[in-house]
Amino acid sequence: MIEIRKEIGVPKYKQIINSIEIAILSGVLKKGDQLPSINKIKSENKLSRDTVLAAFNELKNRGIIQSVVGKGYYVSSENIKVQQKIFLLFDELNSFKEDLYNSFLENLDKNIQVDIFFHHFNETIFNKLIHDNLGEYNYYVIMPANLEKTSNSIQLLPKDKVYILDQIHDDLLEYPAIYQNFEKAIFENLMQASEIVKKYDKLIFLFTDNKQPKTMLNGFKKYCENEEISFDILNKIKDEPLKKRELYIIPDDKDLLRIIKKMKSQDLTLTDDIGVISFNDTLLKEIVEGGITTISTDFNEMGKRLAEMIINKEHSKIENPSKLIIRNSI
């Protein structure tokens, strides 16, 4: 199966890779088949153990083979065109994260495989996913969300293979990242709309502590205190009726729908009776109720820029800016 020739000028570890690829293409090796052991290839071809291991590690990183402790190496994929594998860990999937994901894929080479996972804001799941995939990927893109002490698991990964996405915590500053500055985004965009915002008597911020970035709350408080505006912070929508001349700042889309439903049940209208500012623009928010005002980053640009960082091996920190899109809801 393994053919090594000295006179062709191709590194021996590459010849091992080529031999295994040919065996897969010809059907000699199929998914689930066991490869000859490192020692067998070494002794039969008079190679060093490091040479064989280098070939196996490259095939492993590409997802072509996998190691099973105590048993050996097995074919895990017959797609030999895959050159690199990327581990992508999201908090959850929603419409704007899907835009980010699709943009990321579109701007990568077609021979790069991306495997997506979700931790759902659960620290145990987050740690397990990283531990279970140590050494299996060329790059690790991680969205820590607002989970604490994520660096305990992330530091187990090769430092030059990790990229942080969306939120960057103080203990992750050593890693390259493309992120949002949530405190700056909410403060500056509310300031931009301040003339409209001040027509309301009170601002209500619906803030879910286990999901939303805490810096977002800092920006909201900073704005209200700076402009001397009455405000309240709620972690869920109360059973009491909505009050007229209140403006709701809503990061979560489910809460947005609940507010609209409640508004309709009270025969209230947007802008005239209550105001709404949502986060993260989507096509639906352009249409529902004549358009919902949003504070949003460009998730397509974020996905594109992330792909460029990985392709170019760029180790920098990039702030993805946010903007205010004023529509019918304020």
206-242-208 Cα angle (round to 5): 15
pTM here is 0.78
The H or E element that residue 260 is part of is helix 253-265
| Torsion of Cα atoms, 169 then 175 then 177 then 183, to 10° | 20
CB atoms within 10 A of CB 50: 11
Q: Which residues of 307-326 are buried (b: 16+ CB within 10 A; e: fewer)?
A: bebbeeeeeeeeebebebbe
pLDDT, tens digit (0-9, with 9 covering 90-100), for 84-120: 889 999 999 898 999 999 999 999 988 888 999 999 9
Which residue ranges in the chain fall short of pLDDT 50?
Answer: none
* pLDDT for residue 264: 94
CB atoms within 10 A of CB 329: 25
* pLDDT for residue 299: 96
pLDDT, tens digit (0-9, with 9 covering 90-100), for 261-313: 999 999 999 999 999 999 999 999 999 999 999 999 999 999 999 999 999 98
Minimal CA–CA distance to 147: which of 94, 78, 89?
A: 89
- The DSSP result for 114-153, as a single string, is EEEEE-TT-HHHHHHHHHHTTTS-SEEEE--TT-S-THHH
Q: Is 54 helix (H, G, I), strand (E, B) or coil?
A: helix
pLDDT, averaged across the chain: 93
* pLDDT for residue 136: 75
